[in-house]
Structure 1
Amino acid sequence: MLSKNNSIVLSKLKYRDNDLIVKCYTEQRGVVSYMLRGVLKSKKGLSKTVYFQALSQLQIEENYKPNQSLHFIKETKFNYIYKSLHTNIYKSAIVLFLSEILSNVLKEEEKNEDLFHFITASLQYLDNEDQFSNFHLLFLLKLTRYLGFLPENLDNDYAFFNLESGVFEASNHGIYSVSGENLTLLKRLLGTSFDALHTITIKAKQRQEFLNMLLYYFELHLGSFKKPKSLQVLNDVFR
């Protein structure tokens, strides 16, 4: 069945000599994998691979068949053409990191239009923003809402945050309790929009420590979560 589906490219994998398997997060079907036959065989085919860079926003005309693991693409065009996301070395590091995160955490083969629109709008914001060194922190924190473990914000005057339970608490509960600078930054980011993110200044060391805390938070709440291989690249770029 031919149909059109808005998509975000999560990853691509070379298959055999000339084929690619591309995993996308789509507006209508959640996670879908597509087989691109022969795209690495000729210059004409190779030119098509420009569409499938990490986190590209596409409109795909697909040949979708229920109960199959791989589907096929008849036609592709950009839904949004990035100005800087794939050319700015700092933004490219964020893109690499977030594409690995999203490929890891997005599993469902069912639509979630709110999540899809959050991702596309956030990436367009990043594409147009000049101050973005803390973008990935706020993106990950906001992503927890859609994954079901947004930090409980009702009692954020408390002196600790429990990573295991996801709530603010009045007392320390050992290895899962967050306090100090990470707690202060967590509270600030929870009350911040992307448009106001530039008002928060974070030193490189604290940014890395807070990111490590967020990744541990993901590990605690998502059993299959793996720390991204691209984390070191991101830390090196924003050192």
Structure 2
Amino acid sequence: MVFTTNGIVLRTTRYGETSIITQIYTELFGIQSYIVKGVHQSTRRKPVQAVYFQPGAILALEVYHHQQKQLQFIKEFSWSYIYHNVLNDVKRHTVTSYIVELLQHSLQQPEAHVELFYLTRQALQLTDTGNDLLVANLPIYFTLQAAAILGFQIQGQYNAATPWLDLQEGFYVTRQPNHDYFMENETAKATAALLQIMPKQIETIGEVVLNQSTRRAILQALQLYLSLHIPEFGKLKSLDILQEILSA
């Protein structure tokens, strides 16, 4: 049966001389793997189409879907959104890579998570069009919101009575935790400020002023937070690159 869905490309590998296997986060079916034939083959009427399957690409798809199969097939594909700045801007491209890799590490079952799909699409488009401050804060905000959708919402509020964020428990707490997994001071306060911004207000995240060291510390802490709550989350390879780019 053929279904129409949108998808975000996560990973693509060559398959044979002219085809690929691509992992796509789809709106309808969650993460799925597809064989796409002939995309590295050009003709007079059809240029090479492998460009459609770069990580982070947002596509409109017609797909064959069989629930029991691990590899599916794509019937038709086209752009759902065309990037204007991501491909030629190092900072924006790196943020895109971080979002894509975070999804790969977080989504370990082929569940749709439609709310997360819409958040991801919005975040990728804002990475392309947003101002520099918004783009710099977007990795933190996306990580916080993705964690919440996946069931790891950070609870409580930062104030004088609860100044520590316990990453193991996911709560702002009154006393310093008796382990090393926590935020405090400016990192805990800035995280709380971003947590208060609802997804429909995402375009205001650039108004939260963070210095480079605070932004780096929060991103490191959030990777720890996800690894504490998602089995086999592992280490994000793009994080070190992102830290360097955002501090440049």
TM over 0.5: yes
**In structure 1, C-alpha distance between the alignment counterparts of 2:31 and 2:164, rounded to whole Å:** 36
Q: Which residue of 2 aligns with 1:48?
A: 49
Moved more, 129-138 or 189-198: 189-198
Query: Is the counterpart of residue 179 in structure 1 residue 184 in structure 2?
Result: yes
Q: Which residue of 2 aligns with 1:208?
A: 216
Superposed CA deviations along residues 197-237 of structure 1, whole A, max 9, x for unmatched, are 22222222221111100100010001110111122221221
| Count of aligned residue pairs for this structure pair | 237
Query: Is the counterpart of residue 134 in structure 1 residue 152 in structure 2?
Result: no
Q: Which residue of 2 aligns with 1:168?
A: 172
* Aligned partner of 2:231 among 203, 223, 239: 223
User: How far does residue 16 in structure 1 lie from its aligned partner after superposition?
Assistant: 4.2
Q: Which residue of 1 aligns with 2:246?
A: 238
Q: Which residue of 2 aligns with 1:24?
A: 24
Superposed CA deviations along residues 70-124 of structure 1, whole A, max 9, x for unmatched, are 0111110111112212222110011111111111111332322222111112222
**In structure 2, C-alpha distance between the alignment counterparts of 1:199 and 1:111, rounded to whole Å:** 32
Report the TM-score when normalising by structure 2: 0.89
* Percent of aligned positions that are identical: 26
User: How far does residue 195 in structure 1 lie from its aligned partner after superposition?
Assistant: 2.1
For the 8 Å contact 2:10–2:100, the answer to whether it is kept is: yes
* Letter in structure 2 aligned against 1:103: Q
Q: Which residue of 1 aligns with 2:158?
A: 156
User: How far does residue 164 in structure 1 lie from its aligned partner after superposition?
Assistant: 0.5
3-state SS of paired residue (2:145):
helix
Report the TM-score when normalising by structure 1: 0.92
Q: Which residue of 2 aligns with 1:96?
A: 97
Q: Which residue of 2 aligns with 1:77?
A: 78
User: How far does residue 46 in structure 1 lie from its aligned partner after superposition?
Assistant: 6.8
* Letter in structure 2 aligned against 1:150: Q
For the 8 Å contact 2:123–2:138, the answer to whether it is kept is: no
Contiguous gaps of at least 5 residues in structure 2: none
Instruction: Assess, with a 3 A threshold, how the Cα gap between structure 1 residues 203 and 120 changes in structure 2: closer, same or farther.
Output: same
3-state SS of paired residue (1:110):
coil
